[in-house]
Chain A
């Protein structure tokens, strides 16, 4: 056991949950966390309070680097895995270093999704997932009055509340694809619109962007129905996609996310996945599901770690409603949409 080297890609809730279990269960092993972000493990769902200046960067930190030194966990921050060789069990990092693992846990999370139909406008969009996004968001927000939010997802509705509280005007264009990969019923969408309007946002439904021009004061957005929306920032909130491109060449089974069984084991017996990047088989549902959210991720990280240690833990059934926005409840399992 002493020769085990557990490598965890990611430094979020799932990754840290897993690292704790692995350290506890295998005190002699080497454990390495590799994260693209340079910032230590931080509280992602509080980013909007950072944007509104209610908390500082330091207050976002959940675990400082010293914690990992104490735990004997090697923390590699700001480092990117470029590809994985499953056969040789080597990770190839972007800065041209090889890292050998004996067991690999993928907690690489999600990344803001820009639907391909909006590709043309992607350089005009401001997105929000990590701290670097939040920093940029905050910077752009200074000195502007009006924000256009397009899309519609978990983050966007809460962010809208924050923006309104900050005294910004918010125009919310609910995309037909909102809450992707879920498909909302018209009734649900109307419910959202009503509540957003109630909070003071101007809500546009059944409309789409037909052009964006960058002007001195921000952006002028042309839409199909309304002539022109002037705003200082266009926030794009189309949900997250698992960041798994770097795994494509590995031969690992990937659909939207990394396909794993109930034990979170992927198509390679020594590779596991947990958190937002995993597409989990659930024998009860007879279907795949994807976890969304912090709490689930931590639990899944622990489950994966237990299985990596040789136990037999199951991911269980997803929580029914991960999203509950003032009574509008959305089931977050990806594959229940066709019921």
Chain B
């Protein structure tokens, strides 16, 4: 009988774990990374590969400093992301699978760690000596900050060029204060400044300097200038008074202006910016705010909480609308829309909407905000290049020393997407400068005695975010609406996490095929295997399942379905079920030895 690990022999480690006398604690094997993808879906869904089960465990122990540091090691901005992250992790969370309930409130738990940590300044891991190399980073948005941080940790001298007078980019200018207080941004950017990163404000690429200038000043350049050029509706009437683009509108508000909005506002768009604009417009005194979307509410990508809060603030969402013309003379009087039909799916996976001929009608409005996204200003002549450079997916260009990253590379994405991409690019920049890969994702595998899980925790309901009462919300822009989970809620919510970084395994030589685990399993995740083939890695195995007892070679737990409830472990009469902790972590390679990145 081949065992899952591909190793044989019982006994070995002091813990009594029978598999691991030969298995390494650390693995780089691609099959093991595949295991993480299938089995720790939240962490894989996070572009920054945040160790989510790890920090939720810390939250459960109320080790908020540790939780904050685990977060920061991956995503750099836990306090910020704990508020405004688009939460791809929660969509992937196993607890949200059909019939298992709601996903764990991963994002709010991140915020708990940031809110309740004791250490105000996280100690910085200075694992590398100074390299003597310098890197210029363009843009102090999430991607620029993440790139600057990584490169600084690698020991390079970093200069960040920022066109405006404040670091943060979209965080600072694009997101309203009531969702993301400026003090939180200031604090977390301050941690990066503390590393010795130099910020030069009021310097705009293409106006104050060019890419060749940068490459002359520095050993490498990273352009993360974001997406600043708003898409236009491309319909008549955009020149009328009362028309804004979403970014422009938000920047005005975040600079402290109060734009004239009148009573009736139509926001066209379906992303976070559209919702931010609509909610901000209310706070500017608007009475009647509608968000007009091309498709339907169900297909919105913003979080459900965001939709609900907007509606509670009395914002309407009008669906299946294609704007055709902004009407008015001098000032806006309304928008002519056509009704859309929902069609199939385009090649990007988005739903096709088709305006219906003859279905036009007019909605009255005083202000129209077009929040339909931005694109990067990547004109090669504007940044001082004589040709369009060619980029690969990770941001390496065919211009010596030039890298691009963040939304400037990918087009408009999310904060966490930008941070994740910038970290990836920064590793390449370092590799370019130092000639070897000095940061790696590795899988750590440890036996564990205690699963720290109780079956009853599977039935705890998702904790609701405490909110500012409606009457306190709309005076000005700065009253934060979400108040953060309380420490009591934190305890309950962190219990909900299945801890998918636990891996349950049956040690087949000790199994007596009594079926108890199969009978008691609430997920039908323990099955009969005809054959178990090792894949070469230390974790995964190709299992050939069977229903027939006469061909059973072993009983195997399908960790992809397993919810880590621990019933099998507790019920097994021969105690042949073991648990290992599997964590995807980042490691820095300083040369002779490997240092912890956390």
Contact = CB atoms under 8 A, between A and B. Distances in A.
Q: Do chains A and B touch in the complex (CB under 8 A)?
A: yes
Interface of A: 82-83, 92, 96, 115-117, 119-120, 210, 248-249, 253-256, 259, 267, 281, 286-288, 335, 338-339
B21 interface: no
B297 A287 contact: no
B95 to A, nearest CB: 15
A120 B470 contact: yes
A96 B100 CA distance: 12
Nearest to B469: A120
B342 A259 contact: yes
Contacts of A115: 311
Given A287-B356, A339-B361, A92 B99 contact: yes
Given A253-B296, A287-B359, 15 more contacts: A82-B99, A83-B98, A92-B98, A96-B99, A116-B308, A116-B311, A116-B312, A210-B471, A254-B298, A255-B296, A255-B319, A255-B342, A286-B358, A287-B339, A288-B339
Nearest to A118: B312
Interface string B295-332: 01110000000001001111000011000000000000
Nearest to A267: B342
A279 to B, nearest CB: 9
B479 interface: no
A280 to B, nearest CB: 12
Contacts of B342: 253, 255, 259, 267
Interface string B343-381: 000000000000011110111000000000000000000
3 closest residue pairs by CB, A with B: A116-B311, A338-B361, A255-B296
A105 B172 CA distance: 50
A286 B359 contact: yes
Nearest to B308: A116
Interface majority SS on A: helix, strand, loop or mixed? mixed
B469 to A, nearest CB: 8
B279 to A, nearest CB: 13
Nearest to A253: B342
18 contacts: A92-B98, A96-B99, A116-B308, A116-B314, A117-B313, A119-B312, A120-B469, A210-B471, A254-B296, A255-B319, A255-B320, A259-B296, A267-B342, A281-B341, A335-B339, A338-B361, A338-B362, A338-B363
Contacts of A287: 339, 356, 359
Contacts of A254: 296, 298
B446 to A, nearest CB: 36
Contacts of A120: 469-470
Contacts of B298: 248, 254-255
A288 B469 CA distance: 37
Nearest to A83: B98
B373 to A, nearest CB: 22
Contacts of B320: 255, 288
Interface string B549-562: 00000000000000
Contacts of B319: 255-256
Nearest to A117: B314
Contacts of A83: 98
B263 to A, nearest CB: 13
B232 to A, nearest CB: 24
Nearest to B98: A83
Nearest to A261: B341
A117 to B, nearest CB: 5
A224 B297 CA distance: 31
Nearest to A120: B470
Contacts of B471: 210
A254 B314 CA distance: 22
B213 to A, nearest CB: 51
A253 B342 CA distance: 7
Interface string B97-117: 011000000000000000000
Nearest to B297: A255
A286 B98 contact: no
Contacts of B308: 116, 119
A167 B359 CA distance: 48
Nearest to A335: B339
A81 to B, nearest CB: 13
A250 B153 CA distance: 46
B314 A286 contact: no
A256 to B, nearest CB: 7
Contacts of B311: 115-117
Nearest to B359: A286
Contacts of A96: 99
B15 to A, nearest CB: 38
Interface in B360-414: 361-363
A227 to B, nearest CB: 17
Contact of B312 (A82, A117, A210): A117
A289 to B, nearest CB: 11
Contact of A249 (B98, B312, B339): B98
B521 to A, nearest CB: 15
Contacts of A288: 320, 339
A333 to B, nearest CB: 12
Nearest to B314: A117
Nearest to A244: B298
B357 A286 contact: yes
B136 to A, nearest CB: 47
A48 to B, nearest CB: 30
Nearest to A210: B471
Nearest to B345: A251
Contacts of B358: 286
Contacts of A259: 296, 342
Contacts of B363: 338
Nearest to B336: A338
Nearest to B311: A116
Nearest to B288: A176
B356 A286 contact: yes
Nearest to A285: B359
Nearest to A94: B99
A106 to B, nearest CB: 15
A115 B308 CA distance: 10
**Most interface-central of A116, A117, A210 (chain B CB within 10 A):** A116
Contacts of B470: 117, 120
A338 B356 CA distance: 15
Interface in B442-481: 469-471
Interface string B127-160: 0000000000000000000000000000000000
**Most interface-central of A115, A210, A255, A256 (chain B CB within 10 A):** A255
B314 to A, nearest CB: 5
Nearest to A211: B471
B312 A286 contact: no
Contacts of B312: 116-117, 119
A256 B298 CA distance: 9
Contacts of B297: 255
A256 B293 CA distance: 13
Contacts of B362: 338
A324 to B, nearest CB: 24
Contacts of B99: 82, 92, 96
Interface in B278-297: 296-297
A190 B469 CA distance: 33
A83 B98 CA distance: 8
Contacts of A92: 98-99
Contacts of A286: 339, 356-359
A335 B362 CA distance: 12
A193 B150 CA distance: 66
A281 B340 CA distance: 11
